[in-house]
Amino acid sequence: MQYLLLIYMDERLMANVTPEDGQKMSAEYGVFTQGIIQNGNFKAGDRLKPTSTATTVRVKDGKTLATDGPFAETREALGGYYLIEAKDLDEAVGIAARIPAAQHGCVEVRPIWMMS
């Protein structure tokens, strides 16, 4: 099965990261990503720019409305994702738990709706 792992974290925390901590974090993600590539679980994954760069789009009565935001009501905002292939939910949860952000933020595990 395929799962999307949505990584949520505190953006303010991320904004105030020291260069050393930033390097350490990048190294941790590097190790994690290499690991799931080698195990054949990795399909895709990216870090996202913060919600201050986001634009929300709606179409109402045929008109496109693009607005600033969203502004997260909670502290934690979507900050990145991995798309993985896993045998079952237990394997997906095991992989999600190894994402560095799971230590301070959280990871939502969503099965992909496969169209066949």
Q: Which residues contact 15 (CB under 8 A, 6 or more apart)?
A: 50
Q: Is 5 in the site for another protein (CB under 8 A)?
A: no
93-116 as b/e, with b when 16 or more CB fall inside 10 Å? eebbeebbbeeebebebeeeeeee
User: Binding another protein by CB under 8 A: which of 36, 92, 95, 107?
Assistant: 92
What is the chain's length?
116
3-state SS class at 78: strand
Q: Is 97 in the site for another protein (CB under 8 A)?
A: no
Q: Is 95 in the site for another protein (CB under 8 A)?
A: no
Give the per-residue contact string, 49-88, with another protein (x = CB under 8 A; - = no): -------------------------------------xxx
Are 11 and 50 within 8 A, CB to CB? yes
Identity of the residue, 5 or 14, whose beta carbon is nearer to another protein in the bound complex: 5
Q: Which residues form the interface with another protein (CB under 8 A)?
A: 1, 3, 86-90, 92-93, 109, 111, 113-116
